[in-house]
């Protein structure tokens, strides 16, 4: 790691400019000269310093990603899709989690100084800081948030998918519903799901707050809900983790799912597929979200595109057994 381009040049008997040209193919180099350079590189086991290259080029060849936490499988899948495409494009990925961190502003700015652009999940970064980053010309792509002027946004479809899910549930003949996991922000993913479900079920469904979208919070809220008056026949959950909590609550209360109460989730994470009963849920194309985000960011970084774009990816309704019986199916 201590060999510099100067030592290679000396050993090969050429200038550092020639070494650079030979290695990068950025200019004409005689075959004989190239051989001498490559031989010296091999003998000295030289690898160009990333720092030197980046400073001289004025670019990092790296992408950033800011997320609230990775404990939910949702974020992991997006990250994997993102990293895969970033690597294909010759870029490293620098990660930053904001969970439990103070001075998020400083952390995000430090990240911005290390990368050519970044992906931000939803509202992980405070809005004033987002506005500042946009003003500074930082290339940004957002996943899972409403459109924002000056930056790209990418999300999965929510409203129509929620309507399809609610329609399917109604087809089971249920008449009393609850939506577990009230929206935190207007127009965020969960709010759109709530809107879509409500369009179909109307006054037959009521939203219940869970405080966070975790298994634990879903369990607590479901326990309270299922112990109360007017128990719903079906619970539509904001996401799979909350739904897993609801399954635990039903189990503890000795309620059969879906016989006594049906439960649905959102995301189609691994645990949802392996729970019993297997969760009926909506699958988000999470890897594709990450992959598309990396490509969008590439367009912004290379200048292939300079106008913000807002994309919506399609979802898939995964009917399993938690919503009710399906004659002659699965």
Partner DNA sequence: GGCTTTTGTGTAAGCGCTTACAGAGAAGTG
Partner DNA sequence: CACTTCTCTGTAAGCGCTTACACAAAAGCC
Residue 30 touches which of DNA, a second copy, none (Cβ within 5-8 Å per kind):
DNA
- According to CB under 7 A, which one of 11, 20, 217, 323 is a site residue for DNA? 20
Helix (H) or strand (E) holding 313: strand 310-313
| Region near a second copy per CB under 8 A, out of 4-12, 53-61, 198-206, 317-325 | 53-61
Copy the structure tokens of residue 105.
């502003």
Count of residues making up the chain: 330
- According to CB under 8 A, which one of 25, 28, 31, 45 is a site residue for a second copy? 45
Q: Residues touching a second copy: how many (CB under 8 A)?
A: 53
Q: Rule CB under 7 A: is residue 55 a binding residue for DNA?
A: yes
- According to CB under 8 A, which one of 9, 138, 217, 262 is a site residue for a second copy? 138
| Region near DNA per CB under 7 A, out of 50-58, 156-164, 200-208, 225-233 | 50-58
Residue 112 touches which of DNA, a second copy, none (Cβ within 5-8 Å per kind):
a second copy
d(CA 13, CA 22): 13
DSSP per-residue letters across 58-111: T---EEEEEES-SSSHHHHHHHHHHHHHHHHTT-EEEEEE-TT-S-HHHHHHHH
CB of 51 to DNA, least distance (A): 6
Q: Rule CB under 7 A: is residue 35 a binding residue for DNA?
A: no
CB of 137 to DNA, least distance (A): 13
CB of 17 to DNA, least distance (A): 3
- Secondary structure (3-state) at 281: strand
Residue 32 or 274 with smaller CB distance to a second copy: 274
DSSP per-residue letters across 154-216: EEE--HHHHHHHHHHHHHTT---EEEES--SSTTSHHHHHHHHHHHHHGGGEEEE--SSSSHH
CB of 10 to DNA, least distance (A): 11
Give the burial class of 202: count Cβ atoms within 10 A of its Cβ; 0-12 exposed, 13-18 middle, 19 or more buried.
exposed
Give the per-residue contact string, 203-222, with DNA (x = CB under 7 A; - = no): --------------------
d(CA 156, CA 289): 8
Q: What is the DSSP letter of 256?
A: -
Cβ partners under 8 Å of residue 126, min gap 6: 104, 105
d(CA 65, CA 98): 11
Residue 269 or 282 with smaller CB distance to a second copy: 269
Copy the structure tokens of residue 232.
């719903």
Residue 80 touches which of DNA, a second copy, none (Cβ within 5-8 Å per kind):
a second copy
Buried b (16+ CB within 10 A) or exposed e, 143-182: bbbbebeebbbbbbbbbebbbbbbebbeeeebeebbbbbb
Q: Residues touching DNA: how many (CB under 7 A)?
A: 33
Residue 316 touches which of DNA, a second copy, none (Cβ within 5-8 Å per kind):
none
Q: Rule CB under 7 A: is residue 126 a binding residue for DNA?
A: no
d(CA 294, CA 86): 6
Residue 136 touches which of DNA, a second copy, none (Cβ within 5-8 Å per kind):
a second copy
Binding site for a second copy (CB under 8 A): 1, 45, 47-52, 54-55, 60, 62, 69-71, 73, 76-77, 79-80, 83-84, 87, 92-97, 100-101, 107, 109-114, 132, 136-138, 215, 244, 247-248, 269-271, 273-276
Binding site for DNA (CB under 7 A): 2, 4-6, 13-21, 23-24, 26-33, 46, 48-49, 51-53, 55-58
């Amino acid at each position: 790691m201590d060999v510099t381009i100067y030592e290679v040049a000396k050993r090969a008997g050429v200038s550092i400019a020639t070494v650079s040209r030979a290695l990068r193919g950025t200019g004409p180099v005689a075959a004989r000269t190239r051989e001498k350079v490559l031989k010296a590189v091999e003998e000295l086991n030289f690898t160009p310093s990333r720092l030197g290259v980046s400073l001289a080029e004025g670019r990092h060849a790296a992408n950033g990603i800011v997320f609230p936490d990775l404990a939910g499988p949702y974020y992991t899948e997006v990250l994997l899709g993102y990293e895969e495409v970033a690597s294909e494009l010759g870029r490293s990925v620098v990660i930053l989690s904001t969970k439990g961190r103070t001075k998020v502003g400083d952390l995000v700015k430090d990240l911005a100084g290390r990368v050519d652009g970044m992906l931000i999940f939803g509202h992980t970064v405070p809005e004033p800081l987002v506005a500042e980053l946009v003003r500074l010309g930082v290339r940004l792509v957002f996943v899972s948030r409403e459109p924002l002027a000056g930056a790209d946004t990418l999300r999965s479809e929510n409203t129509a998918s929620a309507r399809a899910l609610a329609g399917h549930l109604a087809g089971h003949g249920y008449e009393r519903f609850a939506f577990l996991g009230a929206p935190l922000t207007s127009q965020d993913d969960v709010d759109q799901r709530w809107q879509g479900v409500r369009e179909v079920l109307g006054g037959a469904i009521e939203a219940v707050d869970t405080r966070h979208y975790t298994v634990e919070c879903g369990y607590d809220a479901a326990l309270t809900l299922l112990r109360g008056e007017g128990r719903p026949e079906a619970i539509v959950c904001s996401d799979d983790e909350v739904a897993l909590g609801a399954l635990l609550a039903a189990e503890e209360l000795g309620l059969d799912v879906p016989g006594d109460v049906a439960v649905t989730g959102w995301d189609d994470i691994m645990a949802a597929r392996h729970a019993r009963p297997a969760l009926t849920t909506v699958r988000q194309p999470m890897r594709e979200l990450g992959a598309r985000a990396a490509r969008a960011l590439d367009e912004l970084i290379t200048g292939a595109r300079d106008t913000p774009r807002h994309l919506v990816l399609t979802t898939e309704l995964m009917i399993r057994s938690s919503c009710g019986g399906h004659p002659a199916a699965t």
